[in-house]
Amino acid sequence: MILTVTLNTALDITYRVRSLRPHASHRVSEVTERPGGKGVNVARVLAALGHAVTLTGFAGGPTGQVLREALAGAPGPVDALVAISGATRRTIAVVDELTGDTTQLNEPGPQITPGEWGAFLDRYEELLAGASAVALCGSLPPGVPVGAYANLVRTARTAGVPVLLDTSGEPLRRGVAARPDIIKPNADELAELTGSHEPLRATQDARRRGAHAVVASLGPAGLLAATPEGRWHAVPPVHELGNPTGAGDSAVAGLLSGLLDQLPWPDRLTRAVALSAATVRFPTAGDFDLAAYEKLLARVSVTAA
């Protein structure tokens, strides 16, 4: 079983409009609503690839109830979320059909009490006992200690479970020092962590700070990986147009899937890039175009960096 952790789950709401213009009223052509948050998206993609997945984190209030009912009503990840008194946040994505661009509005998340954080830690340790890998994903809601991910990384390492960390800012800086097996920042997050805007140098610096392997997302330019086995750059065959929301989460799913399948690093990166590109083609995060993914697998370019 793969365990994904989303401390700041969300109900993702996507509006599609003909053309998004500031200071104007818009007629919405389509609305979709689904469980979200980075780790939830990762879990959904892993389940679609055939892996057994359990997701945990927090859910509460009317929004959290809708989220959990949606999880229960569809095949896929097992819900092991911890109930809280606060209300799960919402994220709003507005897709401009004319340009394909997406505008994202993210609420901060509910206040987590010390008792709720303690209940999560107990649940996390229980779930780790049956996990083959764990992904720690996304932002921290208010009330969760800034060093939370560092604590969760150390707990996973003590349990002998490989751990991937995908977050940003101070939680990433502290989490890297706990020596996760993989981190997956984007270019801006990596630059903030290391102070370097040259991606290859930054990935190497992030490894020196504690990460066993660093896979940096470079947007349309693919993934850059620095690992103990070598350095590679994986690039999709074309720049995909569509909704990029969730593309990085699909890359995380690909990396975890490749880890469990014991693929060499170039093949893991190929899977991650193909999944990411196939996700851009899909209108909602956490899903991907299966036919596109299978075609892209043979067309991703991986070179030594």
Separation of CA 302 from chain center: 22
Cα–Cα nearest to 280, from 252, 237, 239, 223: 239
In angstroms, the Cα distances linking 137 to 5, 43, 152, 184 are 6, 11, 11, 10
Q: In the structure encoding, which two tokens stand for residue 62, read together?
A: 């009317």
Contacts of 66 (CB under 8 A, 6+ apart): 11, 33
Q: In the structure encoding, which two tokens stand for residue 69, read together?
A: 């009912």
Is 289 a residue of the active site? no
Q: Which of 79, 181, 205, 249 is catalytic?
A: 249
* H-type alpha helices, 34-168: 38-48, 61-72, 114-128, 148-158
What positions carry a catalytic annotation? 249
